[in-house]
Amino acid sequence: MSTHELRRAVCPGSFDPVTNGHLDIIGRASRLYDEVIVAVLVNQSKSGMFTHTERMEMLAEVTADLKNVRVASFQGLLVDFCRDEDASVVVKGLRAVSDFDYELQMAQMNYGLSGLETLFMPTNPLYSFLSSSLVKDVAKWDGDVSLHVPALVAERLRARLAALRPQAPA
Ligand code: PNS
């Protein structure tokens, strides 16, 4: 029997939708750990642009080439999900010091709750200004988001926004 314990990390978030910044962190985490679980929060209070299923589908497609990455759904406490999945570490991207305050609070709370570790990974400076909400806002006004999200996400954004746009009166 192998004594090697699988090192499993979790990248949690809302991913509404996944951006190139998220993908950068997921890809880098996948090179550090044996397995990475992208955990998509089921958020009852937050109505996103994409449904939970759509967000999961997009993530599965854009991470398909990363063989040790899988996408899963979670609700409730992140520490409970990590315990159930036997993952001992959460990997989070930090874009700027402004992210640090809240991320530090969550990391310390999670550590206090169950000993779950958090690893902060500095975002690639190419993506340091990027967020799902900014991407949605730019796309809403027909701005170009092709450098900020994978092509299939840009396409899904275009289609969703076209469907939401009020039709001109006949
Ligand atoms: O993409 P987001 O919205 O920044 O992700 C935040 C997320 C999902 C990581 C955070 O809200 C979370 O962990 N939620 C689960 C509930 C929980 O465990 N809360 C206590 C955290 S200290």
Active site residue 95: yes
Question: Whose Cα sits closest to atom 1 in ligand 1?
Answer: 13
Mutate to test the pocket of ligand 1, among 11, 37, 40, 41 (most ligand atoms within 8 A of CB): 41
Report the alpha-carbon distance of residue 140 to residue 160 in Å, rounded: 10
Q: Indicate which residue of 4, 31, 45, 46 is catalytic.
A: 46
Walk along the chain (170 residues) in steps of 10 and give the mean pLDDT of each run: 79 97 98 98 83 96 98 97 98 95 97 98 95 95 95 95 77
Per-residue tokens: 3 = 């004594």
Does residue 94 line the site of ligand 1, with CB under 6 A?
A: no
Query: Does pTM surpass 0.85?
Result: yes
Q: What is the torsional sign of CA 141, 145, 151, 156?
A: negative
3-state class percentages of the chain: helix first, strand second, coil last, to nearest 5? 45, 20, 40
pLDDT of residue 147: 95
Using the atom order of ligand 1, give the atom closest to the CA of residue 110: 22
